[in-house]
């Protein structure tokens, strides 16, 4: 790691791969009081560009950490990368408004300097950190911040900044910034692209789609996740067919919001990806109109078709057919529209009678993916409101959030998952039930951590758990707030006649 060196007691018991965060400043731990005279301090880290006044500072020194003992709770970021903020650094700290610069309890600032991979601690109002704050604020101002209340708008700001921090220059979108999450999933990326699209951040949305095009496999499918450099999957995890729905859906959402003078030309650069994805999705449908069994967002295999794959594929085929018409490809449009109608019929016959439970055989209980049958993914069937209500009730935990599903064989435990809970805010916003959507949003937003970041989970006691921020949850919350802004604020791919 360039420019990184250890100082004083060069023994680290906690390491964080690829990251570096300040441990001490001017002879004491960042944001904490100095040790009493005669007592040892920790690692001495001097702020970049700052020379100490007799406190034993070591200018420009950083502590590299390479293995997490706890998940990240926030992010520092520059234009090219990010570093995670551990709980020990975040305690008592707050972000400077509308930025990823952290104000420590001492009054000093922690930030990630431009073109660096190690964080620095600097005096308040440090010029380089001020410039970074100004750029973040200008980026937010260039788009829209959805939300009806100050709390909602603050949550949207933080979610957008966190997604921007997780987005890499090549378009890879990290799910989170702890090691096990630091990969790009097509599903999470598609949601982020849609959220960027509908908040006026066209460049970021399109960059994600270009990355999806670059990492598509030859048969039109995607790996479950890829390394952030696009070099391929990190392991042998089974690929997931739902990506063939999520990526075209995201492209359709981008197209609806993109500047009209350039969107068609840019659509044509994405069209080969859409064609391969939609052709594979259409070709995968069985005689009953349903797709084969595949892992979905649970990342668990099922033995029969699941709603978490079927519903996204329906959204993707409808989206692809509409994009084909925009691209002047009537043959493609007709082929994919026909496949969408077959799939829609298969879902109506196979899933609707059980209330859109997890699997077509009805043996695996309720699934929060029922929300994927609602806008902005699919036009809601007439029986969907009852299915949403019954599924929500079945999955509700004592802490107020939802488990992804109630299959007793699934490894969910007693923690609520913020993506699954947030699905219902989005679904109810899209089906004209704003009061129900607002109640879900209120709960999710109340579980942000002290930095305002949205966590992946909420434990039995109602505390934020696992990593924060989770980009997927941030995107769902932003889309929900957009959907609540007014009728047709968040469009849905048209169903095929």
- What percent of the chain shows pLDDT beyond 70? 86
Long-range contacts of 421-426 (CB under 8 A, 24+ apart): 421/368, 422/473, 422/476, 422/477, 422/480, 423/368, 423/369, 423/371, 423/372, 423/476, 424/368, 424/371, 424/388, 424/392, 425/476, 425/477, 425/480, 426/371, 426/374, 426/376, 426/476, 426/479, 426/480, 426/483
Q: What is the mean pLDDT of residues 412-423?
A: 96
Residue 486: which pLDDT band, with cuts at 50, 70 and 90?
confident
Q: Distance between CA 49 and CA 157 in Å, rounded?
A: 30
**Model pLDDT, residue 269:** 98
pLDDT digits (tens, 9 = 90+) for 319-330: 999 999 999 999
Weakest-pLDDT range from 191-200, 356-365, 481-490: 481-490
Q: What does the pLDDT read at residue 496?
A: 73
Q: What is the mean pLDDT of residues 60-78?
A: 63
pTM exceeds 0.75, yes or no: yes
* Average pLDDT score, the chain: 88
Quick one: pLDDT band at residue 492, thresholds 50, 70, 90? very high
What is the pLDDT, as a whole number, of residue 180?
Answer: 93
With a pLDDT cut of 90, the percent of the chain lying above it is 84
1, pLDDT greater than 50: no
pLDDT in tens, 443-474: 999 999 999 999 999 999 999 999 999 999 99
209-240, pLDDT tens digit by residue?
A: 999 999 999 999 999 999 999 999 999 999 99
């Amino acid at each position: 790691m360039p420019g990184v060196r250890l100082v004083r007691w060069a023994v680290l018991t906690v390491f964080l791969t690829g990251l570096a965060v300040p441990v001490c400043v001017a002879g004491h731990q960042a944001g904490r009081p100095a040790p009493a005279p005669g007592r040892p301090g920790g690692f001495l880290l001097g702020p970049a560009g700052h020379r100490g006044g007799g406190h034993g500072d070591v200018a420009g020194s950083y502590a590299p950490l390479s293995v997490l003992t706890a998940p990240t709770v926030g992010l520092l970021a520059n234009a090219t990368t990010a570093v995670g903020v551990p709980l020990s650094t975040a305690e008592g700290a707050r972000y400077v408004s509308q930025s990823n610069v952290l104000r420590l309890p001492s009054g000093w600032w922690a930030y990630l300097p431009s073109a660096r991979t190690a964080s620095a601690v600097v005096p308040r109002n440090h010029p380089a950190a001020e410039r970074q704050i100004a750029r973040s604020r200008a980026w937010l101002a260039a788009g829209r911040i959805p939300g009806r209340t100050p709390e909602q708008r603050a949550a949207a700001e933080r979610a957008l900044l966190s997604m921007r921090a997780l987005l890499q220059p090549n378009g890879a979108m990290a799910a989170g910034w702890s090691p096990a999450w630091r990969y790009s999933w097509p599903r999470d990326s598609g949601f982020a692209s849609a959220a960027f699209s509908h908040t006026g951040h066209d460049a970021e949305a399109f960059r994600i789609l270009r990355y999806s095009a670059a990492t598509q496999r030859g048969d039109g499918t995607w790996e479950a996740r890829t390394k952030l450099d696009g070099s391929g999957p990190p392991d042998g995890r089974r690929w997931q067919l739902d990506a063939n729905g999520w990526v075209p859906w995201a492209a359709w959402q981008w197209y609806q919001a993109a500047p009209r003078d350039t969107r068609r030309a840019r659509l044509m650069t994405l069209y080969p990806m859409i064609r391969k994805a939609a052709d594979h999705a259409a070709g995968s449908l069985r005689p009953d109109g349903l797709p084969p069994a595949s892992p979905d967002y649970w990342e668990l295999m099922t033995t029969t078709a699941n709603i978490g794959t079927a519903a996204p594929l329906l959204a993707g085929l409808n989206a692809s057919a509409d994009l084909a018409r925009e691209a002047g490809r009537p043959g493609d449009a007709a082929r994919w529209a026909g496949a969408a109608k077959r799939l829609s019929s298969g879902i109506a016959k196979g899933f609707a009678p059980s209330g859109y439970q997890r699997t077509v055989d009805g043996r695996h209980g309720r699934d929060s993916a029922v929300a994927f049958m609602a806008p902005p993914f699919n036009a809601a069937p007439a029986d969907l409101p009852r299915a949403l209500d019954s599924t929500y009730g079945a999955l509700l935990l004592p802490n107020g959030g939802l488990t992804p599903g109630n299959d007793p064989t699934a490894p969910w435990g007693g923690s609520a998952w913020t993506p699954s809970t947030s699905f219902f805010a989005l679904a109810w916003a899209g089906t004209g039930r704003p009061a129900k959507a607002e109640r879900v949003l209120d709960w999710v937003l109340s579980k942000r951590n002290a930095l305002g970041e949205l966590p992946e989970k909420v434990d039995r006691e109602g505390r934020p758990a696992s990593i924060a921020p989770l980009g997927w949850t941030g995107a769902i919350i932003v889309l929900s707030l957009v959907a609540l802004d007014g009728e047709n604020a968040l469009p849905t791919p048209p169903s095929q006649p």
